Amino acid sequence: MRHHFKAALAAAALATAGSPALAEPGVTDDKIVLGAVDPLTGPPSLLGKAHQLALIVWQRDVNDRGGINGRQVEIVFEDDGYVPARSLQALKKMVDVNDIFGLIGTSGSAQLAAMMPLIAEEGIPAINDMAVNTHHFNPPQKSLFVVGPTYCQEIAAGMKYLVETVGLKDKKYGIVFQDDEFGDDIRCGYLKGIEQHGLDNAIELKFKRGQKDFSAEIIKARAAGVEVLVSGGVVAEHSTLLKEAARNRMQITFLGAHSAHLLPVQALAEGAGDGYYAADYVPALTSTEVPGVVRFMELAKKYLTEPEMKSLNRYSLAGFAGTLVFEHALRECGVDLTRACVIEKIESLENFETDGLFSPLTFGSGVRHAASDVLILRSNAADRSFSIVSDRIPVE
Amino acid sequence: MRTGVFQESYGELIALVRHPTQARWTVALVVAALVAPLLLSNHLTALVNGILIVAVGAVGLNLLIGTTGLISFGQAGFLAVGAYTTAILAADYGMPLWLCLPAAGLAAATFGLLVGIPSLRLKGLYLAITTLAFSIIITHLILTAEDFTHGSSGISTPKPALFGLELGSDRAFYYLVLAVLTLAVLGSANLKRSRIGRALLAIREQDIAARAMGVPVARYKLYAFVVSSFYAGVAGALMAYNIRFVNVDSFSMIISIEAVSIIIVGGLGSTAGAVIGSFLIIGLAELLNLAFGAMGGTVATGSVLELKSLIYGLTIVLFLRFEPDGLMGIYRELKNRWINWPFRY
Amino acid sequence: MDYFILLAVSGLAIGVIYGLIGMGYALIFKATSVVNFAHGEVMMLISYMAFSIASSWALPFWGLLGASVVLSAVVGLVIERLFIRPMLGQEVFSTVMVTMGLAVMIRAVVVMIWGADPLVMPTDIADSGVEIGMVFLYTSQLYALGLLAVAVLGMWTFLRYSRLGIAMRATAARETTALLMGIAVTRVYALAWAIAAVIAGLSGVLLGTIYGLSPDMWAQGLRAFPAVILGGLDSVFGAALSGILIGLLENLSEGYIGRGLKEISGFIVILIVLMIRPYGLFGTPRIERV
């Protein structure tokens, strides 16, 4: 009796397991399903929510204009809370349950690293415009495309600006950087800048992630006579460093990577938050001279509520521009939409314009990184904004 | 309903299975466990994998806290050691799974020995705080020993494979985890019914009296730490293979607190409780996910994660307040009520 | 020498806050034998509540502190009544686990109500400070120093001279005997939690003013824990003094040795103290009788 029951069970299981796969996952006659993993909760939600809102704006605009080749776009959002294990779990769920076609939200650097094996295994076309790291594209992955310079390239460009345009070649330089991959990347750019322009590297200070009190670090920097400080902090650290430096009566020029290009950083630094530099690859939300920004802000006003508008920041611009790349490939593939086609279309992009949000993007066979040249922005505390103060600086 | 069940010999007293009914239920459980992945979706199987891996660690921790009475918040540190050992050996040195798992256990056990030394002098809260400090220091050390551990970049582990069999899919990996958990549970049950297990119980009740009776307290306390951390190391190794990405962030203090709450919710001292507790605590998070997913739309509602944390914290508080004996305690009460009905228990 | 003075002053500035937080830990442990793992979270909660108050009404800083005192007392009493009182009679460890569960809950509630973004405490003393020689101290840091002195003095007189204070010491020494002597132990517990919450709240407002508010502020509470261990878990003054010592140790070790020692030096201190002298510098040894 027991034998029959078990056999029947096994047969049933096998029968259900062998269902025929869809022609292409995530694509039906009237729908394309995309996925996005973002940190929507927790402190990094500053990034995740802004990114998500941009994707929503894009989706609503595309659908209102008739979809892509007659198909409406649906985006499945998953929150990973910035924990790599959860990112992978979220992606697994999106693959198993939601059957996504492509991935347009890849969360942070370590989070994407956790998802990369699954992305490669399933061949999911993915765009990373959030957090760029060398191991995302070196060695190049088949279906993962990375837009934006690494922090190393950003800071190196920033240093170039400080030396050539602001004229700070003879000053003493110092860096305060976080004890993780992110901080190491910033330091990489810093050292490149030091070497390229023959600068005086007065001090390098490492700090543990999550640290709040930087008085010891600033005291050491001051003792070393630092006049230009490069910050390898994420968000709040920039502000604290600025405040501590002001408290210790230090006259410094401050440079941060694109995570310093955020209004909360400016606001948290209170009095000391004026006039610092941030190296970024997208313009400011108020850069009305850039058509891409104007277009995005108009769409955002149309589709988002007032409080949602307040959550927008540079991650929204980067996310929106990333979706433009994906949209282009989706459209080019026409009605016969396959993953292989999309991957091929993105790969063959040459000088792809995003209305000034990024500099023209180029991928290629075996090339999965389109760096985009760097812009330097300056913080204006008086009108709570940032303004572009440089032309695009090409990255190496 | 069993009445008149007496243990009349030493053999019966320490038997693993005391009654044919128990044996039958155990077989049913084994069959269910073997068949489960065929009936569950990939996603659910992956979830169960995660729970079972946590259960392996919990069974070990239960030996330490429940059986020996030594409060330890060091679980996160030992999991991290196990996970990193495996990741480094598998990714950087290409060692196979059957070597990495025990190696991870041994590495964690070595640290366990270190962490156990304070237990010879300290008790209760003071010991708990010491283990907490150790756990934090261990994770800090992992971060700083960059050359070895890749620092904060994390390590990507290769696919698990056992003697040529690819275990990359969730279903295949499930069987590996199930095997390890079975060994863990058997080991723990055997330990508890052995001489050492009884000595550990004596230490829990009153260690000074135990020493007076001739129990080598110091040795057995360290033994408890070593065994418990070995389990945690193996669990960490399984985690490394399951998540395929190892990073210090996954091993914060919160994991230690979660581990202890699993033990308490499951029922202090009960191996089965450790497993059930894992299902409840980890499964709760996923259950809430499903519940909120069913209620929300395509845009995740702002505070879902926080609400989950809130409910999770509340669960712990309520259990401690109303059911300090945990789920096994509830089970025992229900069983006794059922047996004695219609009489009051 | 300049370098040393700057580091020492920084250490003192943060150490004073550690001392305040530590006093709260010690008071609760002294009165109830419970280590309150939710202390950092309570501090954070009150800091955020103060933020809401400061955002709605323009108060002078001392006014904000005063409002926080009242708020903290209420919060402390509520927590004690809802979460701790029902655990009376159960093992201490269970109550400690309850505080851990409570900590998780408070963290979640803070993010649910105030969001996850870092915030600035709107005060009228934001950037102001004084310059003493080469050292510049924020006004808020001076407040912290003053508050610690007031707190230490206040606790000393309270515990020594007031009836409730003596009742608290009696309960801490021998709870059953205190009950027999007619002391309302539950009231003592409630009072201990209220006072601890007040001290926590004040340190939270100060931390929020100096470093800004963020949902991971509770970690600062954990950083103050070594102070309480060093001083002795049941010594309130020991905690205050050790807080300053830990602050100095952190900054000086970071300044002279570096390598991220600042974060970890506290926990190393915990280990050393617990191994060598578990009752800390000023704690009372507990003798276990069989």
Query: Parallel, antiparallel, or unpaired: how do β-strands A228-232 and B161-162 relate?
Result: unpaired
B43-71: b (≥16 Cβ within 10 Å) or e: bbbbbbbbbbbbbbbbbbbbbbbbbbbbb
Better-predicted residue by pLDDT, B344 or C123: C123
Task: Please answer yes or no on whether A216 and C118 come within 8 Å at the CB atom.
Answer: no
Are the CB atoms for A209 and A179 separated by under 8 Å? yes
d(CA C101, CA B257): 9
Question: Is the model's pLDDT at B144 over the cut of 90?
Answer: no
On whether any CB of chain A is under 8 Å from the CB of B153, the answer is yes
Structure letter (DSSP) for residue B65 = I
Residue A15 scores a pLDDT above 70: no
- Pairwise CB contact (< 8 Å): A84 & B250: yes
Q: Which helix (H) or strand (E) holds C8?
A: helix C2-32
d(CA B162, CA B271): 27
Asked whether C257 and C237 are in contact (CB, 8 A), the reply is no
In a domain, C25, yes or no: yes
C-beta neighbour count of B333 within 10 angstroms: 13
Which region among A31-35, B84-88, C120-124, C129-133 has the lowest average model confidence (pLDDT)? C129-133
Q: Are β-strands A144-147 and B161-162 bridged in parallel, bridged antiparallel, or unpaired?
A: unpaired
| Nearest Cα residue to A395 out of A188, A143, A140 | A188
Alpha-carbon gap, residue C131 to B285, rounded angstroms? 52
Fold matches, A31-149+289-365 and A152-280+377-388:
yes
Confidence of residue B304 (pLDDT cuts 50, 70, 90): low
The count of domains in chain C is: 1
Q: Which two tokens stand for residue C77?
A: 């009493």
CATH architecture of A31-149+289-365: 3-Layer(aba) Sandwich (3.40)
**Helix (H/G/I), strand (E/B), else coil: B253:** helix
3-state secondary structure of B154: coil
List of chain C residues whose C-beta atoms are within 8 Å of the C-beta of residue B261: 97, 100-101
Q: What pLDDT is stored for residue A8 in this prediction?
A: 46
User: Does A40 sit within 8 Å of B305, measured CB to CB?
Assistant: yes
Cβ proximity of C215 and C47 under 8 Å: no
Tell whether C55 is covered by a domain: yes
Cα–Cα distances in angstroms (integers) from residue A193 to residues A201, A220, A229, in the given order = 10, 22, 13
Question: In sequence order, which residues have a C-beta less than 8 Å from that of residue A302 and are 6 or more positions away?
Answer: A61
**Per-residue confidence (pLDDT) for residue C118, from 0 to 100:** 83
Burial, C285: exposed, middle or buried (Cβ in 10 Å; 0-12, 13-18, 19+)?
exposed
On whether the CB atoms of residues A357 and A292 are closer than 8 A, the answer is yes
CB-nearest partner of A40 from B35, B245, B300: B300
- Nearest chain C residue to A46 by CA: give it: C117
Indicate the burial class of A282 (C-beta count within 10 angstroms; 0-12, 13-18, 19 or more): buried
Q: In terms of DSSP H, where are the helices of chain A?
A: 2-17, 45-64, 84-93, 109-122, 134-137, 151-164, 181-197, 215-223, 236-247, 263-268, 291-303, 306-310, 314-332, 339-347
- Predicted confidence at residue C289, as pLDDT, reads 62
Which ranges of A198-305 does DSSP label H, i.e. alpha helix?
215-223, 236-247, 263-268, 291-303
Least confident window among A42-46, A93-97, B297-301, C270-274: B297-301
> Average pLDDT, stretch B52-63?
95
**Predicted local confidence at residue C290, as pLDDT:** 59
Q: Phi/psi zone of residue A10: left (φ > 0), alpha (ψ -120 to 50 degrees), beta?
A: alpha
User: Tokens at residue C50, please?
Assistant: 């103060």
Per-residue pLDDT at A32:
93
pLDDT digits (tens, 9 = 90+) for A278-325: 999 999 998 889 999 999 999 999 999 998 898 899 999 999 999 999
Measure the CA–CA gap between B150 and B142, rounded to whole angstroms.
9
Q: What is the pLDDT of residues A76-89, one digit of tens each?
A: 999 888 888 788 88
Task: Please state the φ and ψ torsions of residue A100, each to the nearest 5 degrees.
Answer: -75, 155
- C25 membership: H or E segment, kind and range: helix C2-32
Could you read off the pLDDT of C82-99 as tens digits, one per residue?
Answer: 998 888 878 888 899 999
Domain A152-280+377-388: homologous superfamily in CATH:
Response regulator (3.40.50.2300)
Per-residue exposure over C223-256, b if at least 16 CB sit within 10 Å of its own CB, e if not = bbbbbbbbbbbbbbbbbbbbbbbbbbbbbbbbbe
For CA atoms C118, C119, C120, C121, give the dihedral sign.
negative
- φ, ψ for residue B145, nearest 5 deg: -80, 60
Phi, psi of A248 (to 5 degrees): -90, 15
Q: Which residues contact A185 (CB under 8 A, 6 or more apart)?
A: A133, A134, A150, A151, A152
CA distance C54 to C41: 20
- Does the pLDDT at position A16 exceed 50? no
The reported pTM is 0.85
Which residue from B140, B152, B305 is facing A41, i.e. has the nearest CB?
B305
Q: What's the average model confidence in pLDDT over B18-24?
A: 81
B46 touches chain A (CB under 8 A): yes
Alpha helices in C86-235, H assignment, sequence order: 92-114, 139-161, 163-173, 175-180, 185-211, 218-223, 225-231
Q: If pLDDT is split at 50, 70 and 90, which confidence band does A11 have?
A: very low
The answer, yes or no, to whether residue B257 has pLDDT greater than 70, is yes
Q: Is residue C26 part of a domain?
A: yes
- Chain C residues whose CB is inside 8 A of the A220 CB are 3, 255
Q: How many CB atoms lie within 10 A of CB C2?
A: 12
Cis peptide bond prior to B342, omega within 30° of 0? yes
φ, ψ of residue A145 to 5 degrees: the values are -110, 135
Q: Both ends of chain C: CA-CA distance in Å?
A: 54
pLDDT band at C260 (very low <50, low <70, confident <90, very high): low
Return the pLDDT at A19. 43
- Pick the residue from chain A with its C-alpha nearest to B240: A85
Q: Running DSSP on this structure, what letter comes out for residue A27?
A: B
Domain chopping of chain A, boundaries = 31-149+289-365, 152-280+377-388
User: Average pLDDT, stretch C131-135?
Assistant: 76
Residue B296, pLDDT > 70, answer no
What pLDDT is attached to residue B284? Answer: 84
In Å, how far are A225, B298, C122, C128, C144 from C137, measured between CA atoms?
20, 50, 19, 9, 11
Give me the mean pLDDT over the B227-248 stretch.
Answer: 92
Q: What does the pLDDT read at residue C216?
A: 85
Domain span at residue C172 reads 2-276
Q: Copy the structure tokens of residue B176.
A: 């590996």
First to last CA, chain A: 72
C221-243 tens-digit pLDDT: 888 888 899 998 888 889 999 99
More confident call, C129 vs B74: B74
Per-residue pLDDT at A152? 93
Q: Give the mean model confidence (pLDDT) for residues C268-274.
A: 87
Question: By C-alpha distance, which of B309, B298, B262 is closest to A83?
Answer: B309
Mean per-residue pLDDT of chain A: 87
pLDDT at site C80: 93
Give B2-52 as a DSSP string: --S----SHHHHT-S--SHHHHHHHHHHHHHHHHHHHHS-HHHHHHHHHHH
* pLDDT average, residue stretch B24-29: 89
Q: Is residue C284 part of a domain?
A: no
State the Cα–Cα distance between residues B301 and B296, nearest whole angstrom: 7
A253, β-bridge pairs: A228
Mean pLDDT of B250-272: 89
Q: Which of C42, C45, C96, C104 to mutate to test the interface with B (most CBs of B within 10 A)?
A: C104
In a domain, C286, yes or no: no
| Nearest residue of chain B to residue A96 (CA atoms) | B43
Arithmetic mean of pLDDT, C145-152: 91
Cβ-Cβ contacts under 8 Å for A385 (sequence gap 6 or more): A284, A285, A286
| Residues 170 through 209 of chain C touching chain B, CB cutoff 8 Å | none
Tell me what pLDDT residue B298 has.
40
Least confidently predicted of A55-64, A192-201, B86-95, B156-165: B156-165
How far apart are the C-alpha atoms of B140 and A180, rounded to whole Å?
A: 12
pLDDT (mean) for A164-185: 88
Cβ <8 Å between B208 and C288:
yes
Task: Inform me whether the C-beta atom of residue C60 falls under 8 Å from chain B C-beta atoms.
Answer: no
Segment A335-359 mean pLDDT: 91
Mean of pLDDT values over A254-282: 89
Over residues B248-252, the mean pLDDT reads 85
Which contiguous run of DSSP H or E holds residue B85? helix B75-87
**What value does the mean pLDDT of chain B take?**
86
pLDDT tens for A224-250 read: 899 999 998 888 889 889 988 888 888
pLDDT in tens, B313-340: 898 899 988 888 889 889 888 888 888 8
> Which of A83, A92, A179 lies at the smallest CB-CB distance from B46?
A92
Q: Tell me the DSSP string of C174-185.
A: -HHHHHHTT--H
- Rounded to a whole number, what is the distance in Å from the CA of A50 to chain C's nearest CA? 12
User: Which residues, in sequence order, are CB contacts of B147 under 8 Å at separation 6+?
Assistant: none
Out of A162-176, B252-266, B288-302, least confident range: B288-302
Beta-bridged to residue C273, according to DSSP, are: none
Low-confidence winner among B219-228, C40-49, C135-144 (lowest mean pLDDT): C135-144
The mean pLDDT of B268-279, rounded to a whole number, is: 91
Interface contact flag, A110 B250, Cβ < 8 Å: no
Q: Please answer yes or no on whether B122 and C111 come within 8 Å at the CB atom.
A: no
CATH of the domain at C45: 1.10.3470
H/E run at residue A176: strand A172-178
